[in-house]
């Protein structure tokens, strides 16, 4: 299992791109990111049994786009945490613009400023691959969850010997990821593999004319109601994202 402690990677996309996750989520066919929208939809689907008004932790909230999406879709109160001052500032600004009942707190490392059992549920979406000590992250999320509380956690599937993304400290094969989480949460309630690599390769084409046209076509399809990254009915040979639904014992 790839779980050794490694150096943290600096995450500077907010300095260069601003609150880009909000554009990914709310932009039209020219600006949205169908890949990210599918990830957000799957997190919401896995949290859907939550009662209205539940208090939910967003562990690694970034610019707050997913916190806002979960709040709006599930009618729950989200509290986001992140180590970046800029990310917290962007999250507060963007959710305030929309009148969302979300709160954001900057944290240092793996210590959260919350009492034990403070949250009904939590989500941690494409964050764990960036941290040096994933076990510490999992233990702290477990600490602040109520007994029986649900955690939805996603991360890219490992496809190569070394992480494809230079911002990633770790990547895991699906069974490795299950074993990483097992000491803290036990066996997962559910495991979801999503985002077919076939569509990702098309979406990520870097030839300007062909790539832009392909991206626009997938975004337009998503905008009209069919997101190919959510397609789990066709027997695709390779997926790029994995989700675990975990429950605190």
The per-residue pLDDT for range 117-153, each reduced to its tens digit, is 999 999 999 999 999 999 999 999 999 999 999 999 9
* Weakest-pLDDT range from 34-38, 43-47, 106-110, 196-200: 106-110
Average pLDDT of every residue of the chain = 92
Question: What angle is formed at CA 90 by the lines to CA 87 and CA 95, rounded to 5 degrees?
Answer: 125
CATH of domain 13-194+240-247: 3.40.50.150
Q: pTM of this prediction?
A: 0.92
- The residues facing 179 across adjacent strands are none
Other C-beta atoms closer than 10 Å to the C-beta of 173 total 14
pLDDT digits (tens, 9 = 90+) for 222-238: 999 999 999 987 778 89
Q: What is the domain partition of the chain in residue ranges?
A: 13-194+240-247
Q: How far is CA 127 from the centre of its chain?
A: 6
Cβ 82 vs Cβ 104: under 8 Å: yes
pLDDT digits (tens, 9 = 90+) for 99-123: 999 999 999 878 899 999 999 999 9
């Amino acid at each position: 299992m790839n779980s050794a402690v490694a150096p943290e990677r600096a995450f500077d996309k907010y300095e260069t791109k601003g609150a880009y996750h909000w554009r990914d989520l709310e932009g039209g066919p020219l600006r949205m990111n169908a890949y990210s929208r599918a990830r957000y939809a799957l997190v919401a689907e896995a949290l859907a049994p939550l009662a209205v008004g539940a208090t939910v932790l967003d562990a690694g909230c970034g610019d707050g786009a997913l916190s806002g999406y979960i709040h709006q879709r599930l009618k729950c109160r989200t509290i986001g945490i992140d180590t970046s001052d800029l990310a917290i500032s962007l999250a507060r600004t963007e959710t305030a613009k929309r009148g969302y009942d979300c709160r954001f707190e900057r944290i240092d490392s793996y210590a959260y400023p919350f009492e034990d059992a403070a949250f009904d549920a939590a989500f941690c979406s494409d964050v764990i691959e960036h941290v040096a000590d994933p076990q510490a992250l999992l233990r702290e999320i477990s600490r602040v969850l109520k007994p029986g509380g649900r955690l939805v956690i996603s991360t890219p599937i490992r496809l190569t010997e070394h992480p494809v993304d230079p911002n990633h400290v770790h990547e895991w094969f699906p069974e490795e990821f299950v074993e990483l989480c097992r000491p803290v949460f036990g066996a997962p309630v559910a495991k979801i593999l999503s985002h077919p690599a076939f569509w990702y390769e098309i979406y990520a084409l870097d030839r300007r004319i062909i790539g832009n046209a392909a991206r626009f076509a997938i975004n337009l399809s998503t905008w009209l109601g069919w997101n190919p990254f959510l397609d789990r009915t066709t027997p695709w040979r390779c997926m790029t994202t994995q989700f675990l639904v975990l429950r605190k014992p």
